[in-house]
């Protein structure tokens, strides 16, 4: 079953979405923390730490969304009407954020406005991503082969909770990124802030994780029915280890360890969602196999994917390698 083309593509899309979260999460988090910079110089250092890579990070969002449309057209047709509002708002916020990112360097008069655009776009985009995820986890009503819910079904206490959780989590990624990339007072302030954001993120992960199994019987059986529960139990145990590494790294003055530990929290949370979802792509009704395009189409798309994904991985890794190390406040990217 796992070697069927539909499951191979489900793995590729899951990888694209996870890579987007891992890479774009910290620069969105940096935008959320932007108002905490004390002056123009600190804001410049924060932006220059992500300037070479931030737009490349969003490539994975396009790949995941485009892949869903091409490979799982039925899932795309069901999910989009259910999430039109948060997805459109998220895309507008990402555009507004990107414009603010570039324009603030060119206009002194309007710089405060573009700084707020960068902060507001980052915050709203993150909140909408979390709400969209929460709406998908809580389930989408399907009748026949079409969305059968209402216009506001995506908005619920659970989806708002996942939105707030993602804001805290991306804030943690942004803070630990700045711990890794900066020095001096900004680094010290972000190190202290990361501790509080880490506590908030873990509390949010715990609250969402406790609520999720009770949303659908499938989720509950996956987490609390043996012997599957023995394997699922590894996720919370690894989360505790990642949390320990996060706080010990921050307390001992490590630069890289807190960032990697914070990223591990996201990877493990993503695996937890995958455990709940499998084998559904749109829970609780639409499975991966049922939503996939015909095998003839999947074989054709697979050829392009095998060529494209390594190229994207290659230039992404090269960009991070070239711009590795601390940011020099006197030089920067712009």
pLDDT in tens, 133-190: 999 999 898 888 889 888 899 999 999 999 999 999 999 999 999 999 999 999 999 9
Give the closest residue to 262 by CA, choosing from 30, 36, 53: 30
Q: What is the mean pLDDT of residues 269-282?
A: 89
Burial (Cβ within 10 Å: 0-12, 13-18, ≥19) of residue 323: middle
Phi, psi at residue 282, to the nearest 5°? -130, 90
Reply yes or no on whether the pLDDT at 119 is more than 70.
yes
- Cα(86)–Cα(95) distance, integer angstroms: 14
Which range among 34-48, 89-103, 318-332 shows the weakest confidence by mean pLDDT?
A: 318-332
Q: What per-residue confidence (pLDDT) applies to 215? A: 86
Give residue 334's pLDDT band: very low, low, confident or very high (50, 70, 90): low
Amino acid 159: pLDDT? 95
pLDDT in tens, 72-91: 999 999 999 999 999 999 99
Record the pTM: 0.93
SS3 (DSSP) at 67: helix
With a cut of 80, say whether residue 132 has pLDDT above it: yes
Nearest to 265 by CA among 202, 200, 190, 174: 202
Which letter, b or e, does each residue of 278-291 get, where b requires 16 or more Cβ atoms within 10 Å of its Cβ? eebbbbbebbbebb
For residue 39, the 8-state DSSP code is S
Q: Which residue matches tokens 């796992």?
A: 2
Given this model, what pLDDT does residue 233 score? 85
Does 333 have pLDDT greater than 80?
no
Q: What is the pLDDT of residue 3?
A: 65
In sequence order, what are the beta bridge partners of 146?
143
pLDDT at residue number 243: 97
pLDDT of residue 88: 96
What proportion of the chain, given as a percentage, has pLDDT over 70?
Answer: 98
Domain map of the chain by residue range? 11-293
pLDDT given for residue 218 in this prediction: 80
SS (H, E, C) 257-323: HHHHHHHHHHHHHHHHHHHHHCCEEECCCEEHHHHCCCHHHHHHHHHHHHHHHHHHHHHHHHHHHHC
pLDDT of residue 217: 82
pLDDT of residue 108: 81
Residue-level pLDDT at 267: 96
- For all residues of the chain together, what is the average pLDDT? 91
Q: What is the mean pLDDT of residues 103-111?
A: 85
CA dist 22 → 98, 143, 151, 249 (Å): 19, 34, 30, 19
Does residue 318 surpass a pLDDT of 90? yes
Report H helices in 33-156: 40-50, 54-57, 59-71, 73-82, 84-103, 111-138
CA distances from 33 to 27, 82, 110, 170, 205 (A): 10, 31, 20, 10, 20
C-alpha 90/C-alpha 195 separation (Å) is 28
Average of pLDDT values for 64-72? 87
The pair phi, psi for residue 143, each rounded to 5°, is: -130, 125
Band (pLDDT 50/70/90 cuts) for residue 30 is very high
- Has residue 199 got a pLDDT over 60? yes
Is 206 a residue whose pLDDT tops 80?
A: yes
Judged against a pLDDT cut of 90, whether residue 207 lies above it is answered with yes
Cα dihedral 182, 185, 189, 191 in deg (nearest 10): 50
Whole-number pLDDT of residue 262: 97
Q: What does the pLDDT read at residue 102?
A: 85
């Amino acid at each position: 079953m796992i070697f069927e083309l539909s499951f191979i593509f489900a793995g590729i899309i899951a990888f694209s979405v996870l890579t987007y979260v891992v890479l774009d999460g910290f620069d969105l988090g940096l935008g959320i923390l932007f108002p905490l910079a004390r002056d123009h110089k600190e804001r410049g250092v924060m932006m220059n730490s992500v300037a070479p890579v931030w737009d490349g990070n969003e490539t994975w969002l396009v790949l995941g969304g485009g892949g869903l449309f091409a490979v799982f057209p039925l899932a795309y047709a069901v999910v989009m009407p259910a999430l039109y509002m948060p997805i459109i708002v998220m895309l507008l916020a990402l555009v507004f954020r990107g414009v603010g990112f570039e324009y603030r360097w060119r206009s002194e008069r309007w710089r405060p406005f573009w700084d707020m655009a960068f902060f507001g776009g980052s915050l709203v985009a993150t909140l909408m991503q979390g709400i969209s995820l929460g709406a998908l986890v809580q389930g989408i009503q399907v009748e026949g082969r079409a969305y059968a819910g209402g216009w506001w079904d995506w908005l619920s206490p659970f989806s708002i909770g996942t939105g707030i959780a993602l804001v805290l989590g991306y804030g943690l990624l942004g803070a630990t990124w700045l711990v890794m990339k900066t020095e001096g007072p900004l680094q010290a302030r972000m190190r202290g802030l990361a501790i509080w954001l880490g506590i908030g993120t873990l509390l949010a992960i715990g609250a969402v994780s406790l609520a999720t199994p009770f949303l659908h019987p499938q989720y509950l059986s996956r987490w609390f029915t043996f012997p599957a529960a023995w394997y699922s139990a590894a996720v919370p145990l690894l989360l505790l280890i990642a949390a320990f590494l996060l706080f010990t790294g921050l307390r001992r003055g490590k630069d890289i360890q807190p960032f990697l530990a914070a990223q591990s929290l996201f990877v493990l949370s993503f695996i937890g969602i995958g455990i709940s979802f499998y084998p559904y792509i749109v829970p609780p009704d639409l499975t991966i196999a049922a939503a996939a395009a015909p095998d003839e189409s999947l074989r054709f798309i697979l050829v392009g994917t095998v060529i494209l994904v390594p190229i994207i991985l290659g230039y992404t890794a090269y960009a991070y390698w070239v711009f590795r190390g601390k940011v020099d406040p006197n030089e920067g990217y712009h």
